[in-house]
Amino acid sequence: MQPQGKIVVASQHYPPDPSTTAAIMAEIACRLAMDHEVVVLSGSPGDLPAALTGPGKPRVVAVKNRIAGKTALVRRAAIELLFALRIFVSLMRELKRGDVVLTVTAPFMLPYTVAAAAWLKRARSALILHDLFPDVLVTAGLLKPGSIVARTMRAANSLMFRALNAVITIGRDAEAPLLSYSGMTRNKIRFIPNWATLAPVPRPISPDNPFRKAIAARFIVGLSGNLGFTHDPEIVFEAARLLRDEPDIHFLLSGWGIGFERLKQLQSEANLANVSFVARVEDAELEAFLASANLWIIPYRKDVAGVSVPSRFYNLLAVGRPVVLVSEPEAEAALTVMENGLGWVVTPGRADQLAGAIRAAARSNDGDMAARAVKAAKRFDRATAMNAYAALADELLRNPDLSEQR
């Protein structure tokens, strides 16, 4: 017998939005809808794909929203605050006592309003922690650690974590910073890593790959996806500059975000012959693009451990490619790389180390690395993650306070 109550998913990003967060939230909502009534409060306008509509699918309620884009930070904060307040009003209408509401940390003000609405309606609440604020903003240099804003956000976090029934982490490294908050307890934390969206099968390097055809170099270094505040575009460009006299190595870059704008600016000034840009790759071409490179870079700034986890990481493993991770060694992706022999981990800010790792990868004879990458990707399985979300939803619906269950 299924527990009573419904599940409300509150997310700014949901299809037809093409972002990774939207895809993740849709996967989760659809899996939960197999067993329960699910309502999605979506901030992404437009028609849903046919696969997300019909019987047995979540009921989607559009919440008026304006995507902030590249607007100034203050204006962006105002837009996102307005969206969070609209979600709060919608939750006050939708939630009943005993319901469960699930949200994510984008935008960063959303979890506070979700936790407050759930508390007021005597519902249960869970947060998927993709990014930890204000730590992300401090890492990016947008906030000083001791500033009034940072201290205020940490105080608000303590209240929010006290109100939440569960916090889902996607990296093992998130537990320590979470437990630094007075409102957080270990029994609220659930580790459910993200998953590869591509089938984990080795893809051989092929000269017929459409993304390789125009590049004469033997060894291609790839960079893909969103480069946000926690990423370091300068280290990638500086590594390319250090390797500019090695004709066998070429950098192939495709993505979006403030970091990619910076990369394009640097390239327009230096015009390095070993750097090429590709327009944002659509989902239909993602597999071919990820298979085009011999090696992939994930470039983080310092102090990101426990703050952010790269979702793209699992698809890179799924296509059987090694990675160079710019990160502290205790970060989730770095732990996975080192535990399984999947590539290299270099110190943030050290472009010379990144260039050295790329050079070592180009000369590596480790033919088993691709097989190890695919084997590791198989552990980050969609079905396993979905079942974990379903089990947590059942537990929340049955038990009003998880802290009393353990």
The tens digit of pLDDT for each residue in 314-332 reads: 999 999 999 999 999 999 8
Distance CA 142, CA 99 (A): 37
CA of 37: how far to CAs of 28, 44, 59, 301, in Å? Answer: 13, 21, 8, 41
Q: Are 139 and 230 in contact (CB under 8 A)?
A: yes
Burial of 24 (0-12, 13-18, 19+ CB in 10 A): buried
Whether residue 188 is predicted with pLDDT greater than 80 in this model: the reply is yes
User: What does the DSSP 8-state code read for residue 218?
Assistant: S
Residue 14 has a pLDDT of: 96
Q: Measuring CA to CA, which residue among 230, 9, 6, 191 is closest to residue 110? A: 9
Whether residue 98 is predicted with pLDDT greater than 80 in this model: the reply is yes
Whether residue 9 is predicted with pLDDT greater than 70 in this model: the reply is yes
Say which range, 70-74, 161-165, 230-234, has the weakest mean pLDDT. Answer: 70-74
- Residue 30 — pLDDT band, cuts 50, 70, 90? very high
- How many other C-beta atoms can be found within 10 angstroms of the C-beta atom of residue 383? 9
Q: At what angle do helices 258-270 and 233-242 cross, to 10 degrees?
A: 30
Distance CA 4, CA 328 (A): 44
Residue 371 has a pLDDT of: 93
CATH among 3.40.50.2000, 3.40.390.10, 3.60.15.10, 3.30.930.10 for 219-379:
3.40.50.2000
H or E segment to which residue 25 belongs: helix 20-33
Amino acid at 304: V
CATH number of the structural domain 7-195+381-404: 3.40.50.2000
The tokens describing 7, both together, are: 């599940």
Distance CA 406, CA 399 (A): 11
Q: What percent of the chain has pLDDT over 90?
A: 70
Whether residue 71 is predicted with pLDDT greater than 80 in this model: the reply is no
Residue 261 has a pLDDT of: 93
Residue 239 has a pLDDT of: 98
Whether residue 186 is predicted with pLDDT greater than 80 in this model: the reply is yes
The tokens describing 385, both together, are: 């993650």
The tens digit of pLDDT for each residue in 325-364 reads: 999 999 989 999 999 999 999 999 999 999 999 999 999 9
Instruction: Give the best-scoring range by mean pLDDT among 11-20, 180-189, 317-326.
Output: 317-326
Say which range, 214-223, 274-283, 393-402, has the weakest mean pLDDT. Answer: 393-402
- Residue 406 — pLDDT band, cuts 50, 70, 90? very low
Residue 257 has a pLDDT of: 87
Q: Which residues contact 199 (CB under 8 A, 6 or more apart)?
A: 318
- Residue 68 — pLDDT band, cuts 50, 70, 90? low
Across the chain, mean pLDDT equals: 91
The tens digit of pLDDT for each residue in 215-259 reads: 999 999 999 988 888 899 999 999 999 999 999 999 999 988 889
- Residue 74 — pLDDT band, cuts 50, 70, 90? confident
Whether residue 403 is predicted with pLDDT greater than 50 in this model: the reply is no
- Residue 402 — pLDDT band, cuts 50, 70, 90? very low
Whether residue 127 is predicted with pLDDT greater than 60 in this model: the reply is yes
Q: Are 250 and 217 in contact (CB under 8 A)?
A: yes
User: What does the DSSP 8-state code read for residue 187?
Assistant: G
Q: What percent of the chain has pLDDT over 70?
A: 96
Count how many Cα atoms sit within 13 Å of the Cα of residue 271 in the half-sphere of its side chain.
Answer: 0
Which string of DSSP letters, residue by residue, matches 171-183?
Answer: SGGGHHHHHTSTT
The tokens describing 268, both together, are: 């327009």
Distance CA 40, CA 37 (A): 10
Helix and strand numbers, DSSP H then E, in the chain: 14, 13
Which string of DSSP letters, residue by residue, matches 3-17?
Answer: PSS-EEEEES--TTS
> In the chain, where does the domain assigned CATH 3.40.50.2000 lie?
7-195+381-404, 219-379
- How many other C-beta atoms can be found within 10 angstroms of the C-beta atom of residue 66? 12
User: What pTM does this model have?
Assistant: 0.84
What ranges in 243-311 are assigned the alpha helix state H? 258-270, 283-292
Buried b vs exposed e over 357-374: b needs ≥16 C-beta within 10 Å?
bbbebbeeeeeebbebbb
